[in-house]
Chain A
Amino acid sequence: MSAEGATARDPRILVFSTTGISDPGIDLAGSAHMNYPPGVTVIGIPCSSGVRPDWLVHAIEKGFDGVFVAADGGDCALVPDCTARTAWAMERAQQMLSERGMDPRRLKMGAICSVCAEPFVNHMKQFGDTLRKL
């Protein structure tokens, strides 16, 4: 990412992340000064399986270019199979987007563990690239 990385075209990405597992990973990216675009903002929730499909759709309708749901990938202390459940919510939300004539690729999910600083930054970069092309 270039030092001038943030251009007007930088996609705005809303991230739902879990306060127990993914947030520490995202915090770590900041602590390690791994710059990522400031168009990325995070809302913390206890478990990714608690994300309501209509929240994701609402975010897109409100002007976010994409929504990324950071799942715990098996580390979740609350729901052991939350990744599968989150995947269900993603599918449901993607379906709702399609029905409303929007591109389902605006929604993405990925595993971010408590030390996943680099994967997070990479995800944001790749997802940003995808969104730029839509």
Chain B
Amino acid sequence: MSAQKIGVFTCHCGGNISDYVDVQKVCDAAAGTEGCALAKTFLFACSDSSQEEMMEAIRTHQLDGVVIASCSPKLHLETFRVMAHRAGLNPHMYTQVNIREQCSWAHRHDMPKASEKAVRLVRAGIARASLSRPLENIRVETLPAVLVIGAGPAGMRAALALSDLGLTVYVVERAAEVGGRIRALGKLFPSGRPGREIVARLRDQIAGRDNIVVYTNAELVEKSGSAGRFAVKVRAGQETISLKVGAIIAATGFAPYAPQPEEFGFGLPAVVTLPEFNELLTTSRECLRVNGRDVRTIAYVYCVGSRQSEGNQYCSRYCCTAAVHAAIQAHEIDPELNQFHLYRDMRAYGRNELIYEEARQKGSLFLRYDGGEPPTVEREGDGLLVRVRDELSGGDSIEIPADLVVLVTGMVATSNQRLLDVLKLPLSAGGFFNEIHPKLRPVETVIDGVFIAGAAQAPKNLAESVASSMAAAANCSAMLLKGHLDRAPLVAKVSAETCVWCGECVKVCPYAGAIVEVERDGKQVADVVPELCKGCGACAAVCPSAAIELEGYTNAQVTAMIDALAAEVVS
């Protein structure tokens, strides 16, 4: 079954490879290696004409394996797998050897040694190919439905987008009402539209869809299956509902930072958090009153609960702009107010800069404090006294008698242990959900089919939360609208003959249910459930009898590659 007639194609990559590696020498060495039936060089292996020529060669020489020595597999592994497939060869009989990034470009100072290394790499590739077997991708039929956890703006907006695409959506909200944190908020930057209006609009739109079902007072309590086909259980009130979905979006949002007692005077009357101040603004007309007193002077302390040297080290992103936006509203209620902003760095980024500018024009004063020397807030008489060392005026100590102190509180992760136990999502240092790759795969998680959106991932403002929820919706539909999912079958496999069912593999397997105990020929052995196995190889590394190994990285393959790489190259 393994490859006996391997075609080995070495690429010049223009001169990217051949300027530093003797490509002809590599080709000749390949030709002399056992298993190689045909060796050729190409100026650009990835060009259409080269691919045509290779496909022709595969057919005429009836090649059963192909090795291409060219660039990093990150670039063209998929290209050449598809090429092999078009020529009638199983794509997993193709092996890519990287002689560009990991050879020619890294050893430009020594062409003879680089060429020798390329020969060894190609021989290792041939060794691997000759031990490869044709494999079928694991195909999973997918279900056209999505579970959205959390009905904040991110979750609601994702539900609508998924519904637009024709997918059924189940929304699970822990609270009694939908809308998340903005439900209680007044005017929001940048547009000034009140949060409750935005929520009402989203709620009405959702009510008009017959393919969205919303459960409130509800939580996800169980999840099984894998990407494309999850079975989940939702507890809504007293009821437990079983649902089948193809993908899951976790949009569980954030919690406002709750200051410690006495942190910047927290606990004193008239020391409030930003959400509390926001509420005061929505209920005030003509003047602000706190504890029965008119407010004449407000001091804002920024970065409360954010950018801590220990604890929450991150910046909460939304709060600088939310605070200056609140100050503008306060000014609109009472233009006579004195407003002092004690900040560390003003992060009203992008167009939010204009909101910051407007606050300044309306008379807000900004004083900059050093994170190592924060302001203090004390009670004085009926009011409050704020002390700050202002860096902008050369470090002057300034005392501000204030009627109201607003702690500009950041965002923290919601406490969601039960959900984490069900979803098994990794968390970032700050306790938010972690994506696979912050730049390239920003809403995917290590759990295939589970996506994250909104402020559950990291502090985000509304626009950012909704943008990421759109990305998550697009990812779900890209996965589900095709109707099936193909995965590379490089998963663990067990040799029932050698397995003695010691259970070591199950102990180290990170994926629940991926390794099961079965009976084969009257004895108990391990077996792998390919749909649940991710192909990490943790089981293979610990198996005392080497009975379990990873497809594509079997003991025979890796050992043969080591032998080929260790062998001397005689020039």
> In residues 27-79 of chain A, which contact B (Cβ within 8 Å)?
27-31, 33-39, 41-47, 49-53, 55, 58-59, 62-64, 77-79
Contacting pair B563 A62 (CB below 8 A): yes
Q: Which of A3-11, A94-102, A103-111, A126-134 contacts B (4 or more CB under 8 A)?
A: A3-11
Which one of A38, A58, A78 contacts B114 once the chains associate, using CB atoms below 8 Å? A38
B217 at the binding interface (Cβ < 8 Å): no
Contacting pair A34 B535 (CB below 8 A): no
B537 at the binding interface (Cβ < 8 Å): yes
A85 at the binding interface (Cβ < 8 Å): yes
B349 to chain A, nearest CB (A): 24
Contacts of B105 in A (CB 8 A): 30-31, 33
Contacting pair B72 A27 (CB below 8 A): yes
Task: Give the A-B pair count, Cβ closer than 8 A.
Answer: 140
B451 to chain A, nearest CB (A): 14
Contacts of A62 in B (CB 8 A): 562-563, 566
B98 at the binding interface (Cβ < 8 Å): yes
A98 to chain B, nearest CB (A): 19
> In residues 307-335 of chain B, which contact A (Cβ within 8 Å)?
none
Most chain B beta-carbon contacts within 10 A, residue among A33, A41, A47: A41
Contacting pair B565 A47 (CB below 8 A): no
CA distance A29 to B387 in the complex (A): 51
CA distance A82 to B561 in the complex (A): 23
Contacts of A77 in B (CB 8 A): 436, 446
Which one of B73, B114, B553, B559 contacts A50 once the chains associate, using CB atoms below 8 Å? B553
Contact with A along B104-123 (1 / 0, CB 8 A): 11111110011011001100
B117 nearest CB neighbor, chain A only: A38
Contacting pair B102 A42 (CB below 8 A): yes
> In residues 549-571 of chain B, which contact A (Cβ within 8 Å)?
550, 553, 555, 558-559, 561-563, 565-566
B471 at the binding interface (Cβ < 8 Å): no
Contacting pair A26 B108 (CB below 8 A): no
> In residues 502-516 of chain B, which contact A (Cβ within 8 Å)?
508, 510
Contacts of B550 in A (CB 8 A): 45-46, 50
Known: A27-B98, A38-B110, A50-B550. A45 touches B561 (CB 8 A): no
Contacting pair A78 B535 (CB below 8 A): yes
Contacting pair A41 B117 (CB below 8 A): yes
Contacting pair A43 B561 (CB below 8 A): yes
Contacting pair A31 B101 (CB below 8 A): yes
Contacting pair A45 B566 (CB below 8 A): no
22 contacts across the A-B interface (CB closer than 8 A): A6-B107, A12-B566, A23-B72, A26-B101, A26-B102, A27-B74, A41-B124, A44-B73, A45-B537, A46-B490, A46-B537, A46-B550, A49-B537, A49-B538, A50-B553, A52-B540, A55-B558, A55-B559, A62-B563, A63-B566, A80-B426, A85-B541
With A4-B110, A35-B106, A52-B541 given, name 9 new contacts (CB 8 A). Answer: A14-B566, A33-B108, A34-B106, A38-B106, A43-B562, A45-B558, A50-B537, A55-B562, A58-B562
